[in-house]
Amino acid sequence: MKNHKSNICAIIVAAGRGERAGLADGPKQYRILEGRAVLARALQPFCDHPEIATVLVVIHADDRPLYDALGLSEEKLLTPVIGGATRQQSVLAGLRALQGERPDKVLIHDAARPFVSQNLISRVIDGLDNNAAVIPALALADTLKRADAEGNVEETVPRRNLFTAQTPQGFAYDAISSAHLAVEQHAEASALEFTDDASIAEWADINPVLVEGTPHNTKLTTRADFQQAREKLAMMVPDVRVGHGYDTHQLVAGNQIWLCGVELPHDRSLSGHSDADVGLHALTDALLATIADGDIGSHFPPSDEAWRDARSDQFLHHAVSRVRDAGGTITHMDVTLVCEAPKIAPHRDAMRQAISTISGVDIGRISIKATTNERIGFVGRNEGMVALSTATVVMRTPE
Ligand code: CTP
Ligand code: MG
């Protein structure tokens, strides 16, 4: 009928136990991937898709607390229903529960595919305009071999016309419901294991058509799939940390100062519990900030006599180790010194080299800048020096 907008529902099957993934902390669909549960990622594009009216999740009877803990609040979500012992039974439970919604089309999707996109959903929906069954698929690129249990190749299978099937698979609601029911009521067929809904449609003589899947839309089945997924997400949203540090020390009578790991003759000295190297102190704080690991005072309390007159290179060295132990790679360090004297430019490269030696970071990633304070304030009156610093750290993908 023209101008009739279809009522399209989505079923997300999430009642499996994830045995092949063998995760110690529960079923795979509730595993957090880069801050978000697999199931939450899998259902989001359906909730966001303008053509989908409602989304129903099929969960395992034991998983209600896990589901509730996701705190999902999307308006299109129906109350979840309980699935069965096989994927097929879970889908049927979902199809039955949707009866009241009177959908004319339904998309059935695995919770274990968290990388489904709105474009892919659109392709399946568009395919349903002229077909009762539509599945996203990818043409096989690798050469196929059939081998025996010992790994001896028996033959090469021509890959032409071969595809791998993905989800979401789309169907006319009445057609797929009847097919599932027919399988359930058929003694021999119900004993077969159908691993997707298209094969149930095929059994009922409904021939699905293919639309282009996406290589991105993988199913998380094994533990290795999870590690790969984490790496993929980490590449999409790299965990880059920027830390900031500030320090100031008073200038008192004296004839030398330590600045950024270099000892310089001067007509004053910096006063402090340690060697009072403001530059290294600010940089140490910037590094600790990238891993939210307190500040220099919490690692080296000024009240502790052990740090009296201590060289500040050990503070920096300690912060660098903490960052590395936390899985961080230092990609950049920047220090700004604010002082009226001495002139920093002649010592800039020696300072960069000193920081490079202490930290093991390439000198090309270390920047030293300086400015006077235009004779204003305590810095301008030569009563003290200030240092500001930023550090940039890229965190490793957690295992
Ligand atoms: N599924 C389901 N009900 C079942 C079995 C599977 O809803 N009784 C769902 C899974 O939660 C998953 C999808 O079907 O989202 C695809 O199944 P699969 O990847 O095999 O997941 P599991 O069955 O959980 O994993 P495994 O086979 O390794 O135990
Ligand atoms: Mg399974």
Ligand 1 contact via 103 beta carbon (within 6 Å) = no
Q: How far is residue 107's CA from residue 124's CA, in Å, rounded to a whole number? A: 8
Assigned CATH topology for domain 8-235:
Spore Coat Polysaccharide Biosynthesis Protein SpsA; Chain A (3.90.550)
Ligand 1 contact via 57 beta carbon (within 6 Å) = no
Pairing of strands 256-259, 262-265: antiparallel
Confidence at residue 2, expressed as pLDDT on a 0 to 100 scale: 41
> Coil, helix or strand for 147?
strand
Q: Are 393 and 241 in contact (CB under 8 A)?
A: yes
Q: Within 13 A of 101's CA, how many CA atoms are on the CB side?
A: 26
State residue 92 phi and psi, 5-degree precision.
-60, -40
Q: Are 383 and 277 in contact (CB under 8 A)?
A: no
Assigned CATH topology for domain 240-395:
60s Ribosomal Protein L30; Chain: A; (3.30.1330)
Ligand 1 contact via 31 beta carbon (within 6 Å) = no
List every span in the chain annotated with CATH 3.90.550.10.
Answer: 8-235
Crossing angle for the helix pair 278-290 and 348-359, nearest 10 degrees?
Answer: 40
From the CA of 20, give the closest atom in ligand 1.
Answer: 28
List every span in the chain annotated with CATH 3.30.1330.50.
Answer: 240-395
Cis peptide bond upstream of 168, omega within 30:
yes
**Tens of pLDDT along the chain (399 residues)?**
444 578 999 999 999 999 999 888 889 999 999 889 999 999 999 999 999 999 999 999 999 999 999 999 999 999 999 999 999 999 999 999 999 999 999 999 999 999 999 999 999 999 999 999 999 999 998 899 999 999 999 999 988 889 999 999 999 999 999 999 999 899 888 888 899 999 999 999 999 999 999 999 999 999 999 999 998 888 877 889 999 999 999 999 999 999 999 999 999 999 998 999 999 999 999 999 999 999 999 999 988 898 888 899 999 999 999 999 999 999 999 999 999 999 999 999 999 999 999 999 999 999 999 999 999 999 999 999 999 999 999 998 765
**Which whole-number Å values give the CA distances from 179 to 8, 132, 196, 199, in the listed order?**
18, 12, 12, 10
Q: Are 121 and 46 in contact (CB under 8 A)?
A: yes
State residue 39 phi and psi, 5-degree precision.
-60, -45
Ligand 1 contact via 231 beta carbon (within 6 Å) = no
Q: Which ligand is nearest to the CA of 90?
A: 1
Ligand 1 contact via 166 beta carbon (within 6 Å) = no
CA of 160 to the centre of ligand 1 (A): 29
Confidence at residue 3, expressed as pLDDT on a 0 to 100 scale: 43
CA of 73 to the centre of ligand 2 (A): 27
State residue 40 phi and psi, 5-degree precision.
-60, -40
Q: How far is residue 69's CA from residue 152's CA, in Å, rounded to a whole number? A: 48
Ligand 1 contact via 323 beta carbon (within 6 Å) = no
Q: Which ligand is nearest to the CA of 59?
A: 1
Confidence at residue 367, expressed as pLDDT on a 0 to 100 scale: 98
Ligand 1 contact via 344 beta carbon (within 6 Å) = no
Q: Which ligand is nearest to the CA of 56?
A: 1
CA of 15 to the centre of ligand 2 (A): 9
Confidence at residue 25, expressed as pLDDT on a 0 to 100 scale: 82
Residue 3, burial from CB neighbour count under 10 angstroms (0-12, 13-18, 19+)? exposed
